[in-house]
Amino acid sequence: MEIFTMSMDSITGALKDGDFSVLGLGVLGLLLKIIAVIVIAKIVLRFSGILIERLLKLKKTDTIHIDEKKVNTLRPLLKSILRYIVYFIAGVTVLRMIGIPTESILATAGIGGLAVGFGAQNLVKDVISGFFILFEEQFSVGDYISTGGLKGIVEEMGLRVTKLRDFSGELHIIPNGEISTVTNHTRGSMRALVDVSVAYEEDIDNAIQVLKKICEEMAGEYDDIIEGPTVLGVVDLGASEVVIRIIAKTVPLQQWSIERELRRRIKNTFDKAGIEIPYPRRVIIARQENKNCGGVAGEED
């Protein structure tokens, strides 16, 4: 067990005296210590991750309640912070084993931090912005947001970056410092809006009554509808159509499915009722010239 108690000074002394057997044992002991530190760090991360998972599952109890989205947001964030702390402690411990004075490194961190700060301004900005986003609850994992011309569902929030996946499947990794204006589409009820075009030749009052009946049927069948659907009435007189607007309030992210179902039912119902939905038409008049026109005209003369 002597190899575990040998210090860096012993290794240096053996190197000066040329005692290679002691040197070998010292190097072996140092390597084993470093490996032990790394293994302990991995074990700490492993059990800490399990502890975080169990703590967050307490939300299901009556005494502690945490929103599901907040749990999905905090889980990777806490693990990320813990990973940085454990790696930092392990790194300092290894440096001390090697013989590097960590006290002097930490003492000069203020001077070095000033120099590094100019090159790491964006990193610091990203981390600070990440904290403000989290504390102000601007959005959470699972929210549908738009920022900087990008739209998608938040898959992961970290201290430095936010991962956003759009509906095409592409994953956008956005530094938190670049997130300035955020539109959250999942806070509160969402609006479903459908404009229906009806030909001028149709009875508009009859078309509105048909649409109201469709809305009443959907309101009784869909739990995702919070309010409506409601027929607002005629909102535009177009070049070849009368536009009737329908609106409804739905739970977040379900407004598009309600709009699609409304359009499907309106088309089927209008077809059965004989109500025309105008569409562009092109009438082609083919002009045919009579080759014998000149001869006939001459005979008549």
Answer with the residue of higher pLDDT: 163 or 49.
163
Place of tokens 């402690």: 89
Per-residue exposure over 9-35, b if at least 16 CB sit within 10 Å of its own CB, e if not: ebbeebeeeeeeebbebbeebbeebee
**Cα four-point dihedral sign 273, 278, 281, 283:** positive
Task: For each of the domains in the chain, give its residue range(s) and CATH number, in order of start.
Answer: 2-107 (1.10.287.1260), 124-184 (2.30.30.60), 190-273 (3.30.70.100)
Cis before 280 (ω within 30):
no
Q: Comparing 53-57, 64-68, 157-161, 195-199, which segment has the lowest mean pLDDT?
A: 64-68
pTM above 0.85, yes or no: no
pLDDT per residue as tens digits for the range 224-281: 899 889 999 999 998 889 999 999 999 888 899 999 999 999 999 999 999 998 887 7
Q: What's the whole-number average pLDDT of the chain? A: 76
Q: Give yes or no for residue 2 having a pLDDT over 70.
A: no
How does residue 215 score in pLDDT terms, banded at 50, 70 and 90?
very high
| Maximum mean pLDDT: which of 112-116, 218-222, 283-287 | 218-222
Strand-pairing partners, residue 236, are 243
Q: Are strands 225-237 and 183-184 parallel, antiparallel or unpaired?
A: unpaired
How does residue 137 score in pLDDT terms, banded at 50, 70 and 90?
confident
pLDDT number for residue 4? 42
Sheet holding 171-175, edge to edge: 171-175, 161-165, 150-157, 144-147, 183-184
Cα–Cα separations (whole angstroms), residue 30 to 13, 33, 38, 86, 90: 15, 5, 13, 20, 14
| Maximum mean pLDDT: which of 81-85, 117-121, 185-189 | 185-189
Q: Give yes or no for residue 111 having a pLDDT over 60.
A: no
User: Which segments of the chain does DSSP mark as H helices, in order?
Assistant: 2-5, 8-17, 20-56, 68-98, 102-107, 109-119, 121-135, 204-221, 255-273, 293-300
pLDDT per residue as tens digits for the range 37-69: 788 888 887 887 777 777 766 555 545 555 666
pLDDT number for residue 301? 40
Q: Give yes or no for residue 15 having a pLDDT over 60.
A: no
pLDDT number for residue 72? 66
CA-to-CA distance for 48 and 105, rounded, in angstroms? Answer: 28
Half-sphere exposure of 245 (CA within 13 A, CB side): 10
